[in-house]
Amino acid sequence: MGTRDVHDDLHTDDDDQEDSELEDQESAKAEKWKNHYSSNHRILLVGDGDFSFSLCLARAFGSAHNLVATSLDSYDSIGKKYSNGLSNVMELQERGCLVFHGVDAKEMSQHFFLKTQRFDRIVYNFPHVGFIYPENSHCQIQLNKRLLKGFLANAKALIKKEGGEIHVTHKEGDPYNKWDLVKKPEKRGLVLQQVVPFFKDDYPGYDNKRAHGKLSDAPFPVGEASTYKFKVQTSNTCNN
């Protein structure tokens, strides 16, 4: 009887441990959401500044194995321009994120690795070429329009045709409404599915960056901004 009791006790301890390991594995696998983004989505982040937006998602998901984060900036410039840039990149990589630098949104569908992948979400927050001409000038608007056009064409090649969404977060008002974010994509086989107000506070730790000039590390006023969600037009796409 005594022997049986000891055996039962040991058996129960093992069971408890196995149960708790299984629970840990299940909770690691459980889907987690951060606003529009799920830990089950394969997500490409484009035009990152100091990588704080990507890191916010990684922390929310508890892992970054589903994320590919990219910047136009080289690794060296991330270190020079942003106080937290390199530590953010390191934490992302430790959490399993693939990070690529020198990725041009206008050519990214030809990138050696990205071209082998298809994503559920492709995200570019506050596309902007940098302050080359005055923000309201024709030349500056043309450059920003070219960036958006190139990004959307390349994102279209890399997004999953079924259920994939391309997200551009963009400031509202003049001159940003002259960048043809809505009118032109619809001519190029993308459908604007939804426009959702954007609130920076929804993404703890996200530091939106000017990314250019002496004030690269400074935030810009987000003001009124929205996330524009596009999907690829298919023969079944309903425009209503």
Ligand X SMILES: C[S@@+](CC[C@H](N)C(=O)[O-])C[C@H]1O[C@@H](n2cnc3c(N)ncnc32)[C@H](O)[C@@H]1O
Which one, of 42, 60, 178, 43, lies nearest residue 123 by Cα? 43
According to CB under 6 A, which one of 56, 122, 141, 147 is a site residue for ligand X? Answer: 147
CA dist 187 and 137 (Å) reads 25
**By CB under 6 A, residue 85 contacts ligand X:** no
Radius of gyration of the chain (CA): 22
**By CB under 6 A, residue 106 contacts ligand X:** yes
Which one, of 195, 172, 175, 198, lies nearest residue 185 by Cα? 195
**By CB under 6 A, residue 51 contacts ligand X:** no
**By CB under 6 A, residue 114 contacts ligand X:** no
Helix runs in 30-130, H state only:
52-61, 75-81, 85-94
Closest to ligand X by CB, 191 or 222: 222
Question: Which residues 63-82 are close enough to bind ligand X by CB under 6 A?
Answer: 72-73
Is-contact 153 122, C-beta < 8 A? Answer: no
CA dist 239 and 185 (Å) reads 13
**By CB under 6 A, residue 164 contacts ligand X:** no
According to CB under 6 A, which one of 37, 38, 49, 170 is a site residue for ligand X? Answer: 49
**By CB under 6 A, residue 211 contacts ligand X:** yes
Question: Which residues 15-34 are close enough to bind ligand X by CB under 6 A?
Answer: none
Closest to ligand X by CB, 30 or 215: 215
Which one, of 222, 149, 209, 138, lies nearest residue 185 by Cα? 149
**By CB under 6 A, residue 88 contacts ligand X:** no
At its nearest, how many Å lie between ligand X and the CB of residue 16? 46
- Residues contacting ligand X: total by CB under 6 A: 19
At its nearest, how many Å lie between ligand X and the CB of residue 209? 4
Cα of 133 vs its chain's centroid, Å: 28
At its nearest, how many Å lie between ligand X and the CB of residue 192? 20
| Burial class of residue 101, CB neighbours in 10 A (0-12, 13-18, 19+) | middle
| Interface stretch with ligand X, choices 14-22, 28-36, 127-135, 179-187 (CB under 6 A) | 127-135
At its nearest, how many Å lie between ligand X and the CB of residue 196? 16
| Interface stretch with ligand X, choices 12-20, 123-131, 159-167, 179-187 (CB under 6 A) | 123-131
**By CB under 6 A, residue 165 contacts ligand X:** no
What one-character DSSP code corresponds to residue 212? S
User: Which pairs with CB-CB distance under 8 Å and at least 24 residues apart come from 210-215?
Assistant: 211/49, 211/73, 211/81, 211/128, 211/130, 212/128, 212/130, 212/131, 213/130, 213/131
Contact residues for ligand X, defined by CB under 6 A? 46-49, 53, 72-73, 104-106, 125-129, 147, 208-209, 211
